[in-house]
Structure formats: C-alpha cells, structure tokens
Structure 1
Amino acid sequence: MASYLSSELLKRVTFLHLKVWVLIAFFIGLFIVVILLVLPFCLSRKKPKRNGKTLPTSPPIPPLSKEIRVVNCSANNNYYNDPFQDAYRDKDSDKLLGHTEKIQSGDNDNVGLISYSSLSDSPPKLSQLGWGHWFTLRDLQIATDNFSKENVIGEGGYGIVYRGQLVNGNPVAIKKLLLNNLGEAEREFRVEVEAIGHVRHKNLVRLLGYCIEGTQRLLVYEYVNNGNLEQWLHGAMRHHGYLTWEARMNVILGTAKALAYLHEAIEPKVVHRDIKSSNILIDDKFNAKISDFGLAKMLGAGKNYITTRVMGTFGYVAPEYANSGILNEKSDVYSFGVVLLEAITGRDPVDYRRPADEVNLVNWLKMMVGSKRSEKVVDPTMEMRPSTSSLKRALLTALRCVDPNDQNRPAMSQVVRMLESQQYPVPREGRKGQKTQAGSVRAE
C-alpha cells in the first residue's frame, strides 16, 4: 500500500508537468494563507457590541489647554471684530516694598494666591493660565514692526508696551515683559493672565491673548486710544481740551462698576492693588477701562484678607496696608477714593510743590471740608462747575472711601449706588450705631 501511494505521488500531472505531491503541498499552503487573511476580517465583523453603543474617543490633548490655540493672523481672521483701541500706560517707579507673603486665613483647598517658579523655556501649566489666545512671536513682531521704538506707547519697571496692528487691520497694545528681572516678569505675566484672562466687563481692559516662546513673555490687549485719567487731569492730554464734570463722573462711575465686579461678582475675588489715575484708560466715548493687573491678588473662598509685601503707588496705598501688609478689597476702595478726590480737585495725591498743609490731598480735602470750604476744592480748570448737590455727593462718597478705618469703608457696589443716587445726603447703609472714626469728615 505504501509503495502504491509513493508511486502515485511521484507521478507527474501531464498538463503542469509537476509531481502530485508538489501540487498537494502548494494547495495546502495556499489554503493556509487564505485562512490567515480572512480570519481577522471575520473576527472583527463578529465582535459583540456593548449595550448597542460605542464609547467616544478622547480628542488629543494639546500642549497647553483646549482653550489655548495658536492664532496666525491673516486677512480672513474674523475673531477680532471690534476696532480695539488702547493704552498710554506706564508704571511708576515709586513702589513701596516690605513684608513677606503668606496665606493669612482659610484652608489649603482653595488658595487665593499663586506660587511662581522661575522663568523657564517650558510654557506655563494650564492651572496657571486663564482664557485667551496664544499668539506666535512672529505674529507680534510683524504687528509692531519688530518692536520698533516708534511704536512704544508706555514703559514700566517690568515691561514695555507697544502699539501694534495685526495683519487683519485690528490695533492692539502689546506688553513685552523685560527679562532683566526674571522672577518679577514671570510673576507679572502669570498674575495678569490669571486675574483678567477669563473676566469680561466693559470697564476692564480686555486681555486678548499672550505669547509664550522660549523665555519671551508677551501680553496682548485691546487698544484704547484716548489716553488715561492722569493725562487728562494733569497735562499730557490737555491739548485736546479739559474734562467736564460729567465726563469725570462718567469715568469714575465706570471705574467703580469694574471694581465692584472684581470684588463681588467673580470667584475668587480680585484685588487690583494698584488703582491710580494712570491705570484708568479712557476710550473715545470717555468710558473708563481699568488696566495693569501686574500687582493683582486673588482671594479665594474663605479668605477675608492676606498678608503680603506692600506694593503700590505712593499716595494711593491704604494706610492699614502700608503699615501692616494686610490686604483685602477695602484697600482698593481707599485707592478709588483718592482717585475720586483727584478727579474732583485736579490735584496730585502727593504734591511737594504745594504748601506743607496742602502736600497730601486727602488731608487737605478733609481740612477744607471741615472748615466748610468745600466749594473751593473744585478743579479751577473746569469751565462749568458742578451743582452743589453733585459736588457734595462726590465728596461724601470719596471721604467714606478714604476713611482711615477700613471697616467703615463701603463696598464698591455701595459706592456705585452712592454715585448714581439723586439724593443728598446719601444714606449710610449698614452703619447704624457706629461712631464716626477719627479722621472722617462730613461734607458740609
């Protein structure tokens, strides 16, 4: 039998001239190859469905966050729909220093402060950035003609502000942080993005985006083209005319509304810490826009105040903050009160060119009101003087804001109501049974 099978297998097929065993081996191999090719397809077709649904796949995670995307400026970029306008901004060099920074109260679950690492080549983490758009450095070089001196509109201790124009024609203000103080530049960058990157209010300068490339840190803002309150009050914009009483109060009211929003409408609340006339920009309709959040602090839930090193501008800093480093939103209220007095009188908060009893604006104002000479404090450059009731309302509001006891100062939402009130005197909400503190003065 075996010899018979061997002889049969060794026979040649006439039309292929191949032995039978070769053909059998060929077809067996071909069958195996076909099985191997078809089997995966069959298995994939027969996979059981789970509950009739397929699980969604996660999108790839971008390097920074979903909200942060590179915006290459082009003529068909429709994101910037408004003709933005901006910023004669500058930082004063007279900053007050002292005190170490720490959390004063509350637990560690919702800390209202930010810790800052040294400047590095890697982009900040998502937790350290707000919302906005990530511009490329090339975009901003083109917008500012490679950061030419002709486009400089402001300089400060930590950065230079340039006027720029995107390829789509929209004007912007670009703050390029200086790298001669790496820690402070990095701190200011992250503070501004955290503080206003996600907020929206018509009286706050809008942060449009930022650039992070290597060690470069840049912030891109809307462009506000009508100077700032300091320039209108003290000279640089006076060739355009003088601010009327109505224009001044409109700027002041807008500033109050923006601060009320920062203090009471968002969480964590934001304490600006450097409210002054030069940080209040003015648009072409004489609306206020608060700028420069480089010194801002955030107070999370359960944080009534923090103790931090004292920074701000001399003449605007609240006394309790200057003396102890204790900071809360009432520090901004005091600074706002000084700005309001500045708008009423046209005087600088501190002016050593004046007689000794007039150097400090707040003290001089209290003296004038206490001696019933409030009519003589109005800025003499105003052609149309305010009505007596309007002046007294503004003075009373300002004097309450600069009360030496921070507990007696009103909240900014109350300040808004006081400024909008048509009655005089303005009711002192929540102050029943409290004695007038030393240094507070009633407007007569």
Structure 2
Amino acid sequence: MADTKGDTPMSSMFCRRNPSRLIIQGLLLFSLLRLNYASTDPDVEGEALVDLLVALNDSNHQITDWNYHFVSPCFSWSHITCRNGNVISLSLGSAGFSGSLSPSITKLKYLASLDLQNNNIAGVLPDYLANMTHLQNLNLANNNFNGPIPAAWGQLAGLKHLDLSDNNLTGEVPALFFSIPMFNFSRTGLNCGFRLDKPCVSTSPHRASVKNSKVGVVASTASCGGFILLSIGAFFAYRCFYMHRLKDSMFVDVAGEDECKLCFGQIRRFSLREIQLATDNFNETNIIGQGGFGKVYKGILSDASKVAVKRLTDYNSPGGEAAFLREVQLISVAVHRNLLRLIGFCTTTSERILVYPFMQNLSVAHRLRDLKPGERSLDWATRKQIAFGAAHGLEYLHEHCNPKIIHRDLKAANILLDDDFEAVLGDFGLAKLVDTKVTHITTQVRGTMGHIAPEYLSTGKSSEKTDVFGYGITLLELVTGQRAIDFSRLEEEEDVLLLDHIKKLQRENRLEDVVDKNLTSYDEKEVENIVQVALLCTQGSPEDRPTMAEVVNLLHGEGLADRWAEWMQLEEVRDQEVSLLCHKFVWGEESSHDQEAIQLSKAR
C-alpha cells in the first residue's frame, strides 16, 4: 500500500507498462506450476540433477542449461526426456565427465534409461542404483569404474539392457545377470567366458540355430506373416522381414527381433547391423541433433547415400513405442515436397530407429543462430521462401490428409533445409492423428516452451490452431533471428517471451529493432506483412486465429489489411479490459467510469 496519496502501487505501474502481456505470462506461470505439480517431487528432481552434474565434474562445460532457478527440467534442460512431469531418461554419453556418480541420482524415482558411456567416471559401481526400480537401460561402458558388480543390483528386475564393457571391474558376474536380454561385460576383468562357461556378451541361441540355413531363413520369414512379395510395376509392396546374426558388435541380435509388427509399402526396413555400420556404431561424433525421444546421427549407407538416423532412447516405454509407430504411420501417408520423407526404419526388441535423407543445410534454427565459419546465412528472400514452404507443409497436413495431422512442435529447429534451402517440416514424433469428426483431442502437453499455444498449456487440448500458433512464433524467429524464450532479455528489462517483445516493438513502431541484425537488406513492407501474419496467428483465442489455408492467402497479401484492422481493434479492447482488471486488482473496487468503460468494450 502506498504511504502517501501521490504514490503509485508497483502492481499499477506494471499494469500500465504492458497490460497485454499479463495474460500470456500468467498462462506461462500457470503452465509451469501445472507441470511441476504433475510430478511427485519436481523441485527435488531439479536439485538432484544439479547435484549429479556437480559430482560428474563437467569440466568441458558440455551442459550449461541445468539450472533449477529458471524452469523445471522437463521444459528446457538438454539431455533429458520426461513423461508426466517426471525425468525418465538421461543421455549423458561422451560428455567428458571425470567425476563420480552421485547418490542424488536415486531421487529420480522414475528414471528408466541412464546412458553415461564414453566418459571418465571413476569409483565403484554404486549399490544404491538397486533402488531405481524403474531402470530398464543402464549403459556405463568405457569409463573407469572399478570393483565388483553389486549383488544388490539383482533387485533391478526390469533391467533389459546392461552394458559395463571397458571398465576396470573385478570379481564374478552374478548368474542372474546372464538372463538380461542384452548385456556386455567384455574387456572388464570380470569372470565370464571360459571360466564360467558363460558369454561376456549376450547372444541369441535361436539365431545360431538358423545361421546359414536357407530353411531357417524361410521359416523365419514365414513366421513373420508372409513371404516377400515383389512384382514388376507394383506400386506398394508389403513385406515382413528377417535379420542376420550380428557379428563383432556390442549391440547384438536378440531373439524376437524378426517379429513382424510393421509392414509398409515403399519404406525400407534396415537391419540393426546396417544402421551400426552407417553410423560407426552410433559414434557420438556423428550426432547432429537431439530431441525429446532420442538422438539423431549422421550416417552413410552402403550405397554411399547420406542419411539422418533417429534413434529413440525411450525405446522400452509405451511413449517411445507409440512415438515410433506414430511417426512411421504418419510419414507413410503424408507425402509433400515440404515434408521430410522417411527412407526406412529398424526395429528389434530393444531398438526403434528411423532413417531419413540427410539435409546438408541442417535446420532453420542452425542457420539463424549457430552458423559455423564458411556457412551461408539466411538472406531475406530465403527466409520468405522458408515461411511460404512451412505454411504449405502445414496446410497439407491440416487440409489434405485424412485423417488430418497435427504436428504439435513446430519451431525453427524442426524445419530442415534441402539443397535449395527449401523448407522441409521434420520431427513428426510429437504429431497426432486427428479424426475428422473430432475438433480437438486431450492429451499430455508436449512441445517446446514459447511455441505452445496458451489453450494447450492450460487445458491440454490441441487442434490445428495450436499448430497455427507455433507457426506464428516461427515467423517471428525468421524475422528476428531470436529464440522464442530468451532470459538474457531480462538484463535489458525486455520481455522474456519473444511474442511479447515483438508486440511491444510493434506498438512503438520500432520496425528497425524487430529485424535480425544479420539481415543487411530487406523489404520493409514485406517484413511488416510477415510480422502482421505472425501476430494474427498467435492470438490468445484459437477461434481468432486463421486456418493454415487462410495463412497462405495472407502471406500473399490477400485479405491481410482487413484482418489486421480487426486485430488492432481487438487488441485495443483487450488492453482496456486488462487495464480495468488491473485497476480493480490494485484499488479493490470499480468506479462508475470503469463500469461505463467495461460496457463500451463489450459493446465493441
């Protein structure tokens, strides 16, 4: 409360400074709280991850975004996969860690996959990992762990993949660990092999029995549900597949990988061995990207063609399996010049892999913010071309696919660039098939903060209009070159959200401050039009946003002036309503003047 009559409460000053951003920032705060409370102990998980990183000794500073003072780990922290607000996967391989494994990791109660391979982590194998009952994948290969395998690890009944190879271990391998579907104890000093008459690497007796047997191959193929069908001129060929036994590899063939669960025409099924050879056994130096469900590796097939290999890390969970099935199904029915084409896939009992063409020019986000010396930056003509291409791709998904497809994670990082810098929408792992009779679906919120529509954050309901919102934010990324959320803007007392930042600059007619400083030349009128389309796409109410078919027309200037005039009028009304709400919040009552203003705003 003010001490004198002339003082103005801080909340009143804030309302007058930028009233329209209260709604979106309030929704952002609500969504953060909503996701946090979805987890049993969300703050504990964030603190546990920071403690873990300190103990691991990230001397190479590979991880810079783990800071629980900012946001929940499940929003923006790298190397993490979450479900229902809980951390379920950590991918920390080849990060140069030289410390030890902290007991704080046991606070990640729902962790299913832990990958720490190819580091220099030292110490004994911790027995407290036995408390992590959800653990299915444990990869500690190529570190400096010593001592025996803790007997307590026998409690990890759900363990399906255990790799301890290339460590300084001693003692015997407990017999029960040889029943794990995939294990590797080679080059460790552990007693296996001849002394225990057990293999140091998991093998498949079924594969051995049919190796080099034509009859075995035919039987295996027949068990898949049918013989290979090939005929000249056939447009679609449905095939069930088999794989040969893998040799000389830490990832070995296992029983059941010939189970035919997916058979699609014109999409190739690769063997795991082919994928391993293409990616140099998933060498960390070949990683070109990382998403919510896995890593993406650059690879070269036997015919010398370059590919991008997406390996799902959450392969044993319902979410990872569903994402794989969904992506293969989607890409098999959605074919368009502005959509990423699926070359093939690979499935085993423990792997889910997708193979795409390699995009030499990488992503829009890379070209906007992560250019390397000698790489071409995006000029205005190319950015405009990308805007149109992405719009056409989304329009196809919404209007011409039956059932229609919602992408749900549209952003600059998921728009790839072909050899001609044409936009290609990628990463359908978060997409959702929508029945034409259903206007929206309710599901757990997925996507990237800053790109997620407010109604999706608050209700969990997504629709085509959530994609329109994401597209609008992407347009702002193209114009400004900035991220959708940038905490560094706080230092300049600017809005963290790019959308709020642009709205403020637009109200102040500061077009020159909107445009990316890396753009040396551009058409001011075209920039103004693109910004207007972006703001029309990012309106708070989904009903007010245009469809993607309408967006394509607006990009050509058709009807833009009228829609923009309506938007300006709506914004004025919204600002008045928010200001009145702020006034009521600060002073606790409404004046007759306020009542009259409210009636006028409703009338408009």
TM-score interval (norm. to shorter): 0.5 to 0.7
* 345-354 vs 153-162, greater mean Cα deviation: 153-162
CA contact (8 A) 2:553 2:559 kept: no
1:143 to 242, 264, 278: 278
1:164 paired residue number: 299
- Aligned match for 1:68, one of 236, 239, 255: 239
* Of 341, 350, 361, the match for 2:498: 361
Q: Which residue of 1 aligns with 2:570?
A: 436
1:63 to 1:275, Cα distance in 2 relative to 1, 3 A:
same
On the 8 A contact 1:177/1:185 being kept in 2, the answer is yes
CA shift in 2, pair 1:70/1:238, >3 Å: farther
Counterpart residue type for residue 239 of structure 2: I
How far 1:168 moved relative to its partner? 1.5
**Other-structure match for 1:21:** none
Residue 171 of structure 1: CA displacement?
1.2
Q: CA deviation at 1:123?
A: 4.3
Report the alpha carbon displacement of residue 424 of structure 1 after superposing the two structures with TM: 8.2
1:71–1:282 distance in 2 versus 1, CA, 3 Å: farther
1:132 aligns with 2:267: yes
Who is 1:393 aligned against? 529
Does the aligned pair in 2 maintain the 1:130–1:193 contact within 8 Å?
no
Q: Would the aligned equivalents of 1:159 and 1:178 in 2 still touch at CA under 8 Å?
A: yes
Q: For 2:298 and 2:567, how far apart are their aligned partners in 1? A: 53
Q: In structure 2, what is the equivalent of residue 251 of structure 1?
A: 386
Instruction: Output the amino acid matched with 1:330.
Output: K
Contact kept, 8 Å, 2:272 with 2:346, in 1: the verdict is yes
SS in 2 for 1:218: strand
Q: Deviations for 1:266-306, whole angstroms, at most 9, x for unmatched residues?
A: 11111011111111111221111111111111111201101
Q: Distance in 1 between matches of 2:341 and 2:469?
A: 24
Determine the structure 1 residue equivalent to 2:598: none
Per-residue CA deviations over 1:118-161 (Å, capped at 9, x if unaligned) read: xx86746459x686221222222222222223322223342221
Equivalent position amino acid for 1:368 in 2: L
- Specify every segment of 5 or more residues in structure 1 that has no aligned partner in the other structure, as ranges: 1-59, 73-119
Superposed CA deviations along residues 89-116 of structure 1, whole A, max 9, x for unmatched, are xxxxxxxxxxxxxxxxxxxxxxxxxxxx
* Structure 1 residues 224 and 248: alpha-carbon distance in aligned structure 2, compared to 1, 3 A threshold: same
Letter in 1 for 2:471: F
Aligned pair in 2 of structure 1 residues 295, 289: CA closer, same or farther (>3 Å)? same
Q: Which deviates more from structure 2 when the two are superposed, residues 139-148 or residues 227-236?
A: 139-148
> Which amino acid is 2:296 matched to?
V
Structure 2 residue 491 is matched with structure 1 residue 326: no
Greater relative contact order, per chain length (Cα 8 Å cut-off, separation 6+): 1
Whether the 8 Å contact between 1:209 and 1:221 is mirrored in structure 2 is yes
User: Contact conserved, 2:297 with 2:310, CA < 8 A, in 1?
Assistant: yes
Structure 2 Cα separation of the partners of residues 420 and 382 of structure 1: 22
The one-letter code of the counterpart of 1:378 is V
Q: Deviations along 1:378-435, whole A, 9 cap, x unmatched?
A: 1111111x223212211111110001111111111211122133x6844539x98997
Q: 399, 417, 423: which is aligned to 1:288?
A: 423
Residues 333-391 of structure 1 deviation map (CA, whole Å, 9 limit, x = unaligned): 0001001011111221111111343321111111111222234311111111x223212
Number of aligned residue pairs? 330
Maintained 8 Å contact 2:315/2:351: no
**2:550 alignment partner in structure 1:** 414
The answer to whether the aligner puts 1:374 opposite 2:511 as a matched pair is yes
What secondary structure does 2:269 align onto? strand
Give secondary structure in 2 for the equivalent of 1:358: coil
Q: Is the 8 A contact 2:505 2:514 kept in 1?
A: yes
Residue identity opposite 2:548 in structure 1: M
The correspondence of residues 32-43 of structure 1 with structure 2, limited to 5 A, is none
Name the residue aligned to 1:102: none
Q: Counterpart amino acid of 2:226?
A: I
- Contact 1:389 1:424 (C-alpha < 8 Å) held by counterparts: no
The answer for unaligned runs of 5 or more in structure 2 is 1-224, 230-235, 244-255, 576-604
Shift of 1:221: 0.7
Distance 1:165 1:434, change over 3 A: same
For the Cα contact (< 8 Å) 2:480–2:515, is it kept in 1?
yes
Instruction: Letter of the 1:436 partner, please give it.
Output: L
Cα gap change, 1:173/1:70 in structure 2, threshold over 3 Å: closer, same or farther? farther
Alpha-carbon separation, structure 2, partners of 1:63 and 1:285: 37
2:352 pairs, out of 205, 217, 229, with: 217
Matched-pair contact (CA < 8 Å) for 2:554–2:560: no
* Structure 2 residue aligned with 1:189: 324
Cα distance between partner residues in 1 of 2:332 and 2:458 = 31
Structure 1 residues 143 and 180, CA gap change in structure 2 (3 angstroms): closer
Computing the radius of gyration over CA atoms, which structure comes out larger, 1 or 2? 1
Amino acid corresponding to residue 414 of structure 2 in structure 1: N
User: What is the alpha-carbon distance in structure 1 between the residues aligned to residue 406 and residue 258 of structure 2?
Assistant: 28
Equivalent residue letter for 2:268: H
Task: Compute the TM-score of the two structures, normalised by the length of structure 2.
Answer: 0.51
* Cα shift readout 1:219-254 (whole Å, capped 9, x = no counterpart): 111111112111111123465242111111111111
Alignment RMSD (CA, Å): 2.9
Residue equivalent to 2:414: 279
- How far has the Cα of 1:317 moved from its partner? 0.3
Going from structure 1 to structure 2, the CA distance change for 1:341 and 1:403 (only over 3 Å counts) comes to same
Q: Give the distance between the partners of 1:299 and 1:124, measured in 2 at CA.
A: 26
The CA distance in 2 between the partners of 1:152 and 1:286, in whole Å, is: 22
Distance between the aligned counterparts of 2:559 and 2:494, measured in 1?
A: 29
Structure richer in helix, relative to its length: 2
Q: Is the 8 A contact 1:200 1:206 kept in 2?
A: yes
Which of 287, 293, 304 is 1:152 aligned to?
287
- Give aligned-pair identity as a percent: 35
Matched, 1:341 2:512: no
Please give the secondary structure, in 2, of the residue aligned with 1:193: helix
Kept in 1, the 8 Å contact 2:242–2:258? The answer is no
SS at match of 1:256: helix
Distance in 1 of aligned mates of 2:465 and 2:508: 28
**1:187-240, CA deviations, whole angstroms, 9 ceiling, x for partnerless residues?**
221111122122211111111111122322111111111121111111234652
